[in-house]
Amino acid sequence: MISPVLGMPVSRCLASCLAILFTASAAAFQPAAGYEGQHDSRPGRTAPVTLPATGTVQAAFTPGDDIGKLIADAIDAAQHQVLVQAFSFTHRKIADALIAAGRRGVDVKVISDKDQIHRIQTSLISKMAADGVPVFTDSAHDSAHNKVIVIDAGSPGATLITGSFNFTHAAQYKNAENVLVIKGNTALTDLYRKNWQHHYEHSRPYR
């Protein structure tokens, strides 16, 4: 049978169409530049980093686990430095732990999403700033949505805290959230410290 449109046998026409389809589909699934360990030449892009799994990992979830206490205890154990990236911040126990750490001589700094400070009436950013914690706002993005705490990077006691858990009472008592507390993985903690520093460089002092 001849195709009335292409003027060739239908079987040959079908084979040609399938060849084009499979070629296009294969191209669509090729990895973008910068993946599979290759350098990404696009400005500001680097390949994802793969690091060895070392140290210990503690996982916690809400509802059920007291993540606020878990984070506060980690801050209480800090010896030298606590660097925070927060989207919203209303959890008093965590705020009090940061204030106390600063008062005992630990270098504490907080980067927060600028809009959330003003949108949430119960935000504790102003309280922490008033109690001596250096606070900075990151408005270079639609949302400064990282939830990260880097403790004592570069030391044997290096600790990284990250996950979906906002530092809020809603995250503790109303939401389904998770957090990882990673201890002893100095390379991973240092990677997050460098990312914190990257955002710190374009942040502005609160007030």
* Active-site choice (91, 109, 114, 147): 147
- pLDDT tens sequence across 115-125: 666 777 778 88
pLDDT of residue 47: 84
Q: Is the dihedral of CA 145, 193, 48, 181 positive or negative?
A: negative
- pLDDT tens sequence across 22-72: 343 333 334 334 333 343 434 466 788 899 889 999 999 999 999 999 999
pTM of the model: 0.75
Whether 147 is catalytic is yes
Q: Domain map of the chain by residue range? A: 1-39, 56-205
> Does the structure show a pLDDT above 60 at 5?
no
* Active-site choice (91, 113, 114, 152): 152
Tokens of 6: 């292409």
User: Which pLDDT band, with edges at 50, 70 and 90, does 96 fall under?
Assistant: very high
CATH number for the 56-205 domain, one of 3.40.50.300, 3.40.50.720, 3.30.420.40, 3.30.870.10? 3.30.870.10
Which pairing describes strands 107-113 and 159-163: parallel, antiparallel, or unpaired? unpaired
| Dist CA 84 CA 168 (whole Å) | 14
Rounded to the nearest 10 degrees, the angle between the axes of helix 92-103 and helix 67-76 is 0
pLDDT of residue 116: 65
Which value, to the nearest 10 degrees, does the dihedral of the CA atoms of residues 52, 57, 62, 64 take?
150
Kindly report which listed range (22-26, 69-73, 131-135, 148-152) carries the lowest average pLDDT score.
22-26
* Active-site choice (69, 93, 145, 169): 145
Element (H, E) at 136: strand 135-138
Whether 145 is catalytic is yes
Nearest of 164, 166, 155, 162 to residue 190 by alpha carbon: 155
Q: Is 94 in contact with 71 (CB distance < 8 Å)?
A: yes
| Dist CA 74 CA 163 (whole Å) | 15
